[in-house]
Amino acid sequence: MTLEQITEAVKKVLETSPQRGFEESVDLAINLRNLDLTKPQNRIDEEILLPHTKGKPVKIAVFAKGDVAEKAKAAGADYIFGETEIEALANEPPRARSLANEVNFFIAETAYMPMIGKSLGRVLGPRGKMPEPLTPDKDIAQLINRARNSIKVRSKDRATFHVSIGQRNMQPEKLVENVESVIMRLEQKLERGAQNIRSVYIKTTMGPAVRVR
């Protein structure tokens, strides 16, 4: 898939999609082939760092205490939970599910990981939102800033899956670079690279789909 193909597809999508009364996202529909997706090792489960933000807020929750919690707050984390809050979430399944659906990324001090796995794993795991461990060699502010430019891409056991890469009001060049980053990462991840991708379509939320390849 060439940069020219991506550029042409993005241009066509923006030209042919009618203006709406709300800000639409720009999404990719990716179709895989020649993969046994009943085998977990063939499934896509990736966090991809985009060159540009998606153009809309990304919510981040941090499980931490003390200085780390203060640094997370200063870096703009939307939620900060300590041990007491983790226990409270475990005892309130509806609240835990609501949080899991609302928050895009979770980060946790390593000391909390066993507790989170035991009490919240059944909520976060199926959604692909188990926290990224905050090991001593990592800076919480850097992880939060990186998460704001990252997306989760999961195929589960389906050959076709979708991922949002931006907003319609973004500059076309930024959309193109975000699309290119996703495709390149998938080609690196898949066993046979581009040969395992049957097709890629791009579209706005309610607009027509345009084939990229």
Report the number of distinct structural domains present in the chain. 2
Q: Do 86 and 134 sit in the same domain of this protein? A: yes
Q: Do 70 and 126 sit in the same domain of this protein? A: yes
Q: Do 20 and 70 sit in the same domain of this protein? A: no
* CA–CA distances in Å: residue 110 to residues 99, 116, 124, 194: 20, 10, 16, 36
Q: Do 69 and 139 sit in the same domain of this protein? A: yes
How many Cβ atoms from other residues are within 10 Å of residue 198's Cβ? 14
The pLDDT value recorded for residue 55 is 80
Q: Do 22 and 67 sit in the same domain of this protein? A: no
Q: Do 171 and 193 sit in the same domain of this protein? A: yes
Q: Report the CATH number that the domain containing residue 87 is assigned in CATH.
A: 3.40.50.790
Average pLDDT, the chain: 93
| Residues 202, 130: Cα–Cα separation, whole Å | 28
Is residue 10 within 8 Å of residue 27, measured between CB atoms?
Answer: no
The pLDDT value recorded for residue 1 is 74
Looking at residue 113, its amino acid is M
Q: Do 141 and 163 sit in the same domain of this protein? A: no
Point out the domain boundary residue: 95, 127, 147. Answer: 147
Residues 49-106 pLDDT 10s: 999 988 888 899 999 999 999 999 999 999 999 999 999 999 999 999 999 999 999 9
Sign of CA dihedral 120, 125, 128, 130: positive
Point out the domain boundary residue: 147, 177, 193. Answer: 147
Q: Do 70 and 30 sit in the same domain of this protein? A: no
Residues 158-182 pLDDT 10s: 999 999 999 998 999 999 999 999 9
Q: Do 46 and 99 sit in the same domain of this protein? A: no
**pLDDT band of 21, cuts 50, 70, 90:** confident
Q: Do 168 and 114 sit in the same domain of this protein? A: no
The pLDDT value recorded for residue 20 is 84
Q: Report the CATH number that the domain containing residue 194 is assigned in CATH.
A: 3.30.190.20
For residue 199, what are the domain limits?
A: 3-55+150-211
**pLDDT band of 193, cuts 50, 70, 90:** very high
**pLDDT band of 17, cuts 50, 70, 90:** confident
Residues 107-147 pLDDT 10s: 999 999 999 999 999 999 999 899 999 999 999 999 999 99
> Does residue 22 carry a pLDDT above 90?
no
Q: Do 174 and 190 sit in the same domain of this protein? A: yes
Point out the domain boundary residue: 96, 129, 147. Answer: 147
Residues 6+ apart with CB under 8 A from 64: 72, 80, 81, 82, 107, 108, 109, 112, 134, 140
The pTM (predicted TM-score) of the whole model is: 0.78
Q: Do 94 and 37 sit in the same domain of this protein? A: no
